[in-house]
Amino acid sequence: MSRISLTVGRPSIASRRGMAIPCVLILGWIVVGSTGLVDRHFLVPFQRVVTVPFLDPDGRTVWLGLAASLARMVAGFAIGAGAGALLGFAMGLSRFGNRLIGPSFTAVRQVTVFAWIPLLTAWFGNGEEAKLVFVALAALFPMALNTQQGLRDVPVAYRELASVLRLSPRRRFTRVLLPSALPSIVVGIEIALISAWIGTVGAEYAMGFGRGVGIFLVQGREQFRMDIVIVGVIALAVVGYLINATFRSLLARWVPWRGNPS
């Protein structure tokens, strides 16, 4: 319940308390930066980081990079999560599907997602396709896994109820299986989005070429621009945080019964 109440209405004391550590850190940053105790190449002053995305000609490209990365993430996520959901439904709804796909899926899943990069660049080069495929892959596995698990974990009690009531296969799916699996599926979507985001930046960072937050980071590093690197990292974190926060409230809205099991 407390999880849900955090996301609706005014920020609670608990979420305000969560702001304490970031505030202290930023304060420390400002103080240390202004004393000049630390080399500016290691720790740029806070004020500079705040102004770079707006005033610096190189820093301003972060917005274009962010837009490009978000577009890439959304496209890759749509492909990957869509395919993942299909796989998950196939494995979770049909025993045949699970026997057919399950073993290969489990085997392929063992490959750390970043290990795909050499293979993908060999197949697709280092342009947009390779990045998209990589993002899609990053989203596919968590989506498929959570969908399958949600369906597999539908309580036997509910399955029995469906057969006692002789629900049609369609109603059985829409009224019983899907709602029961929904919390797990929503979590799957969230994890898929997060890993699509990490995958997007990772692919950009590893493959280079074009625009994106990852490439923005690479450029900052190559030019020894600590301020730009930090701006890139902050952009990365903010998007991740927003995904998280959105899903907490989505979960509360879509799955209102989860907070109070009956």
Partner 1 sequence: MRATNLLDIRAVSKTYIVDDEPVEVLRNIHFTVAEEEFVTVIGESGCGKSTLLRLIVGLDIGYCGDILLDGTRIAAPGRDRGIVFQDHRLLPWLSVEQNVALGLDASDESPAAVKQAVAANLDLVKLADFGRAYPHQLSGGMAQRAAIARALVAKPRILLLDEPLGALDSQTRAYLQDELLRIHQRGKVTMVMVTHDIEEAVYLSDKIVVMEPRPGRVRGIVPVELPHPRNRAAADFIAVKERVLASLVNGPPLCFDAAPKSRPIVPDGRARRFG
Q: Which residues bind partner 1 (CB under 8 A)?
A: 157-158, 160-161, 163-168, 171, 175-176, 179-180, 182, 255, 257, 260-262
Q: Between 44 and 154, whose beta carbon lies closer to partner 1?
A: 154
Dig out the tokens for 1 from the structure: 């319940």
Buried b (16+ CB within 10 A) or exposed e, 193-204: bbbbbbbbbbbb
What's the min distance (Å) between Cβ of 191 and partner 1? Answer: 22
What's the min distance (Å) between Cβ of 148 and partner 1? Answer: 20
What's the min distance (Å) between Cβ of 8 and partner 1? Answer: 18
What's the min distance (Å) between Cβ of 258 and partner 1? Answer: 8
Dig out the tokens for 143 from the structure: 């989506």
Q: Between 23 and 156, whose beta carbon lies closer to partner 1?
A: 156
Q: Tell me how far CA of residue 56 lies from CA of 48, 92, 135, 222, 227, in angstroms.
A: 10, 51, 30, 17, 10
Angle at 189 between CA 187 and CA 191, to 5 degrees: 70
Dig out the tokens for 161 from the structure: 């109820």
Q: Between 86 and 255, whose beta carbon lies closer to partner 1?
A: 255
What's the min distance (Å) between Cβ of 184 and partner 1? Answer: 14
Q: Between 168 and 223, whose beta carbon lies closer to partner 1?
A: 168
- Cα–Cα distance for residue pair 214/208, rounded to 1 Å: 8
Angle at 97 between CA 94 and CA 101, to 5 degrees: 145
What's the min distance (Å) between Cβ of 172 and partner 1? Answer: 9
260 contact partners, CB below 8 Å, separation of at least 6: 1
Q: Between 114 and 254, whose beta carbon lies closer to partner 1?
A: 254
HSE toward the beta carbon, residue 142, CA cutoff 13 A: 20
- Cα–Cα distance for residue pair 198/135, rounded to 1 Å: 8
Dig out the tokens for 194 from the structure: 């997060």
- Cα–Cα distance for residue pair 138/238, rounded to 1 Å: 20
What's the min distance (Å) between Cβ of 92 and partner 1? Answer: 18
164 contact partners, CB below 8 Å, separation of at least 6: none
Q: Between 149 and 180, whose beta carbon lies closer to partner 1?
A: 180
